[in-house]
Structure 1
Amino acid sequence: MATPTKYRHPVAINRDGMAQIGPTQFELRGIRFADDPAGAPPAAAPASPVAPAPAAPAPAPAAPAAPAVSAPAPAAPAAPAPAPAPVAPVQYRGDPDEYVRELRGEARTHREAKEAAETLAAERAQENTTLAAERDQLRRENTVILRAGELGAKAAALLDSKEFTTAFAAVDLADPAAVDKAITDALERNSAFKAGPSLPGTSGGGHQGGAAPTTTPTIEGAVKARLGG
């Protein structure tokens, strides 16, 4: 049976009738029992309802971020050029002066061969240029010969004219109209290029009208002819 409060010792007695010094762990935690004289703490008054705060307006949607421009990757450094291989020293046994003379002779031989090859190449190039010019000249002459007869012109007279051949050198042979125009223009400038009527050919012997007088040779005439008289 619990001891009444008025008879309690100044030392606190717990609910089991044991002496208690200081607050119990239940008291520290705020726990009260029904038979505790102190009783349970009064219940807190209910809090008045608080009106809910108005909701904050939704934030405006943020503008889309601009796409980041990726910086170009730095170019890789160029690899260093390999060092030239060292030249092995010449192991020559003999007279150094003789060796130098041999080297100079070889260099002269190579130089002369190079100069000869360059000269030959220049000659061949000149020959090709000359042959190309001659071929073009023959083509132009043949074209004039073939077209002059149909246009009523004398091909020989046209080809002998320096003025015509100079002007005809710039004519494109692949253009027949340009060829004909060059010939007709020459005919208009010079009527000597026009082909005239051809004379009929002769047949038989020479002139038959009357026989030439003949003389009988004499000794006197022969002597005069011999002496140049």
Structure 2
Amino acid sequence: MISKLLFEATIDTLYMAFVSTLLAFIIGLGLAIILVITSINGLKPNRAIYNTLDIAVNTLRSFPFIILIIVLFPLTKFIVGTSIGTTAAIVPLTIGSAPFIARLIENAMNEVDSSIIEAALSYGATKTQIIFKVIFIEALPSIINAITLTLIVVIGFTAMAGAVGGGGLGDVAMRYGFQRFRPDIMTYTVIILIVMVQIIQSSGNFLYKITKK
């Protein structure tokens, strides 16, 4: 009974974490590219666009996640049809982590040596080619680190989502471990989360080393 419960909760947690991180990466990558391009030293500086996105990203990042879940209940229900459950939790998880990963990717791209970009420009590369074939490739190891960090943070967020009906290990820890005074279940969920994070971090480090070479 307990093993089945924990197994299903682990699958739910992985589902929420990986899907929301993938969606957040797609959104965050788009935001990061626009921020890099429109910055004062970018390929096409635009102060209005940069400042607007910069404020939006900082504002969303400043929201405590538990509050963001509650604030997004109407939007979540509109998109998914319900405001509770594992699929519903993906909406606030994505919106909450997208600005975070956008800033990490932006920083990774800004760290690319400007001489490499200038060399690409001198060879007649287009802005699109510079973004995706020069900056993105050069920043890929750091972007992998950003994805790894985001995925780990999102796993922590899923635990909070579980506290308000999001499902997963957080929900099991709250309903069975805390409310039913089962410290053994609480301990199992913590151990599973620790193992999960260790595996993800090790995988991220491995991919980082491969791309760094």
- TM-score interval w.r.t. the shorter chain? under 0.3
Q: Which has the higher relative contact order, 1 or 2, with Cα contacts under 8 A spaced 6 or more apart?
A: 2
The answer to which structure has the higher helix fraction is 2
Larger Rg, first or second structure (1 or 2): 1
TM-score w.r.t. length of structure 1? 0.19
